[in-house]
Amino acid sequence: MALRPFAKAIPVVLLCTLLAACGSSRFERGASGAGIGSLAGAGVAAVAGGPVLVGAAIGAAGGAAVGVLTSECDVDLGPQRANNC
């Protein structure tokens, strides 16, 4: 049953997809980045067999940093907007 650990990560990936690209202010991008990062970190830790809470904490810190340190124009996969970009 080598596929079983990957089955645990499927809900995490789906939740990350739902939260992607949330927010336009630095606070909103940092908060959504922390949420996405914590889910991704927990998923990776669960698949790897490590401590899930540590993975979630590391992912949240990384995601929040990316969200705060980038602007909406830097990391925006949606339609191109003419405002401030």
- What is the structure's pLDDT at 29? 85
pLDDT of residue 1 exceeding 50, the answer is no
Within-domain flag for 55: yes
User: Does residue 21 contact residue 77 with C-beta atoms inside 8 Å?
Assistant: yes
48 in any annotated domain:
yes
Quick one: 29 exposed, middle or buried, by C-beta within 10 A (0-12, 13-18, 19+)? Answer: buried
Structural domain boundaries, residue 54: 41-68
Task: Tell whether 59 is covered by a domain.
Answer: yes
The answer to whether position 64 is within a domain reads yes
Residue 61 domain-assigned (yes or no): yes
> Which tokens belong to 10?
């499927």
- Amino acid at position 52, single letter: V
CB 75 within 8 Å of CB 53: no
Question: CA-to-CA distance for 29 and 69, rounded, in angstroms?
Answer: 9
What would the pLDDT profile of 38-76 be if each residue is shown by its tens digit?
988 988 898 888 898 999 999 999 989 988 888 777 666
Task: Look at residue 5 and tell me if it is in a domain.
Answer: no
Residue with the bigger pLDDT between 84 and 59: it is 59
Q: Is residue 51 part of a domain?
A: yes
**Each residue's pLDDT tens digit, 14-42:** 665 555 556 778 888 888 889 889 988 98
Provide the domain count of the chain: 1
Question: Could you tell me the pLDDT band of residue 79, with boundaries at 50, 70 and 90?
Answer: low
- Domain-located, residue 79: no
